[in-house]
Structure 1
Amino acid sequence: MKWEDSLKDYKHYLRLERGLSANSINSYSLDVLKLIRFLEEKKINVSPVAISEEEIQHFVYEIAKKVNERSQSRIISGLRSFFGFLVFEDYRTTNPLDLIESPRTGRKLPDTLSTKEIDLMIAAIDLSTPEGERNRAILETLYGCGLRVSEVIDLQVSDLFFEEGFIKVTGKGDKQRFVPIAAHTQKYIELYLHHIRPHVPVKKDFEDTLFLNRRGRKLTRAMIFTIIKVLAEKAGIYKKVSPHTFRHSFATHLLENGADLRAIQQMLGHESITTTEIYMHVDRSHLKQVMEEFHPHRAR
């Protein structure tokens, strides 16, 4: 079995069986491609079916010299998934990554913005242009609903259920969820929807896309990143800010104000509660307040 064939089959598996997005599939594929390039450079002629644990360990040792522990762990995890697929399909009987440990890494806490910083970025938007009204609606949606950047650019006009107070969001693996939307956020979307978007020459196949570029097509991820980077600089915010920062801020601020972790999990579209638990890094004074308010032995 050739590496190219096994990687092609693996991509089909990730898309059809696991329901992963194109971005996730590319990320998993890159981990396997790193191993393939290593074997080519070292002139090691071995198939994915025959490669041994020692040869994988050699690769892991080499990448450890070039990347940090977090990247090492991700590559090892990606390869473990790939060889797990080969075992699942009966191409191999064992997974050569089973006995290879990932380096211990501390869980990285997400960057967040304060409400003041978010207000400063929104205030930095030039509302004298049609794009300004659109950009304000985008930032309000990112922060007001905690969406991923891909979820914002894929949002459809038909996904807006404002009378019910919800929007329908298509997340990872095309999984759909309903996210509550506040009247404040609705207001800015409606301003854009009724006063700006009707003047954009919409291209075919984008008639239902909510946020459009000047040419009437769907915005790209790169464009959203650029908009936010420019606004952060204009607002005098020098920390690393991305669309995901607004999602992190949404979850963190909800938790700080007493929201239930499982409710946040549902709104974010996390499959596992452990993913949501990363937001438990909130101010310790909040945790003390929760203890004093809710523990049965709080005050006797």
Structure 2
Amino acid sequence: MNQQLVTLNNINMPALVAKAGERAGVRFLEFFASAIRNPHTRRAYARAAGDFLSWCASAGVASITAVQPLHVAAWIELQTQTSSAPTVKQRLAAIRHLFDWLVTGQIVPHNPAASVRGPAHSARTGATPVLDPVEARQLLDRIDVTTPIGLRDRALIALMVFSFARVGAALAMRVEDVYVQQRRLWVRLREKGGKAHAMPCHHTLEAYLHAYVDGTGIADDPKGPLFRTVRRGTGRLSDTPLPQANAYAMVRRRALAAGIGTAIGNHTFRATGITAYLKNGGTLENAAAMANHASTRTTQLYDRRRDDISLDEVERIRL
């Protein structure tokens, strides 16, 4: 049974967990299979737990039940030497949540990570690279839309820019999530935590989505994925959803072809759209609602208007 669960969740059983017995092994796997629904969080937490428990084994810890706060603190200290503060805090959160789960399952008597503090970190501005409007327009205009791939790529990038959609929410869309309401095209996004979020389309996005859906024939498959891979050797769309890694490779390839030197990623377009909206008189509160953020503090991380002020001020340094 354990082996089937390991295969199902693509999670390796650490030696320290196996040494604690079958109950511990089942509880460990249940944490990733049952307690964490987001696949990206699951992968990150599994990596952190695997790394930590491997380090504990090399440090002479006999079993997961023997892990102490000192072990967690020493591992976190090592992490700060090679990783950013947000990454270290995420890894510490993974260990805390795992041991909380093991405590409630009566596998370990206490949570050794509960008293361990992570590195201090406070961010007022995000680190995501942002395109200015000219670059964003250049990127979209340089895409060859005479092929299904071009229509797909332009529609996906425009969706992230004009609806502030996360790439995960965009790639999870079905064809039926593009629909007409109040004589306008709308999009339905499923954000983190299963929250459904609907938005009317900007007129540019509306044109691009119509061109893509109508031009590729996927309108006849409303339950199928909106953004799809391409069948090898045919240039035609398949029935398989486009993976996030493929989307990242696509935007990097499109940026290079458009002569854009900024090291952009999928999240760039969300930040680009929010910044452009705020520059043109939009309010932070409305931006938060459009991005489906629970707090405007999160939206502020995407607001890069101050970058323009900084650049202008730097140019005042004349020698």
TM-score (norm 2): 0.77
In structure 1, distance between residues paired with 2:40 and 2:120:
26
TM-superposed deviation, 1:186: 1.0
Judged with a 3 Å threshold, the aligned counterparts in structure 2 of structure 1 residues 241 and 120 are, in CA distance, closer, same or farther, namely same
In structure 2, distance between residues paired with 1:284 and 1:117:
15
TM-superposed deviation, 1:285: 8.7
Structure 1: segments with no counterpart, 5+ residues: 287-300
Residue 202 (structure 2) aligned to one of 182, 205, 215: 182
Match runs of 1:198-209 below 5 Å:
208-209=224-225
TM-superposed deviation, 1:36: 1.2
1:9 aligned partner: 30
Match runs of 1:243-262 below 5 Å:
243-262=266-285
**CA deviations over 1:235-286 (Å, ceiling 9, x no partner):** 2211211121001111222223332323222322233443223234523899
1:171 aligned partner: 191
Residue 121 (structure 1) aligned to one of 139, 155, 179: 139
1:55 aligned partner: 71
1:296 aligned partner: none
On the 8 A contact 2:128/2:268 being kept in 1, the answer is yes
Residue 291 (structure 2) aligned to one of 268, 289, 293: 268
Judged with a 3 Å threshold, the aligned counterparts in structure 2 of structure 1 residues 113 and 285 are, in CA distance, closer, same or farther, namely closer
Residue 224 (structure 1) aligned to one of 237, 247, 250: 247
1:33 aligned partner: 50
2:3 aligned partner: none
1:290 aligned partner: none
Identity among equivalent positions (%) equals: 19
On the 8 A contact 2:271/2:303 being kept in 1, the answer is no
In structure 2, distance between residues paired with 1:99 and 1:185:
49
**CA deviations over 1:187-209 (Å, ceiling 9, x no partner):** 11111111223599x7xxx8532
2:77 partner letter? Y
TM-superposed deviation, 1:90: 5.0
On the 8 A contact 1:7/1:29 being kept in 2, the answer is no
Judged with a 3 Å threshold, the aligned counterparts in structure 2 of structure 1 residues 69 and 210 are, in CA distance, closer, same or farther, namely closer
On the 8 A contact 2:175/2:218 being kept in 1, the answer is no
On the 8 A contact 1:261/1:276 being kept in 2, the answer is yes
Q: Does 1:131 align with 2:149?
A: yes
Higher deviation after alignment, 124-133 or 100-109: 100-109
In structure 1, distance between residues paired with 2:172 and 2:143:
22
In structure 2, distance between residues paired with 1:93 and 1:281:
47
TM-superposed deviation, 1:169: 0.8
Judged with a 3 Å threshold, the aligned counterparts in structure 2 of structure 1 residues 176 and 140 are, in CA distance, closer, same or farther, namely same
TM-superposed deviation, 1:120: 1.0
- Please state whether the residue corresponding to 1:45 is helix, strand or coil: coil
Judged with a 3 Å threshold, the aligned counterparts in structure 2 of structure 1 residues 50 and 109 are, in CA distance, closer, same or farther, namely same
1:292 aligned partner: none
Judged with a 3 Å threshold, the aligned counterparts in structure 2 of structure 1 residues 253 and 84 are, in CA distance, closer, same or farther, namely farther
Aligned CA-pair RMSD: 2.6
In structure 2, distance between residues paired with 1:191 and 1:184:
11
2:286 partner letter? A
Higher deviation after alignment, 218-227 or 85-94: 85-94
> Matched residue pairs, number?
277
Residue 306 (structure 2) aligned to one of 274, 278, 283: 283
Higher deviation after alignment, 167-176 or 56-65: 56-65
Residue 179 (structure 2) aligned to one of 145, 161, 167: 161
Judged with a 3 Å threshold, the aligned counterparts in structure 2 of structure 1 residues 12 and 118 are, in CA distance, closer, same or farther, namely same
On the 8 A contact 2:27/2:105 being kept in 1, the answer is no
On the 8 A contact 1:252/1:282 being kept in 2, the answer is yes
TM-score (norm 1): 0.82
In structure 2, distance between residues paired with 1:58 and 1:276:
34
On the 8 A contact 1:76/1:102 being kept in 2, the answer is yes
In structure 2, distance between residues paired with 1:255 and 1:56:
42
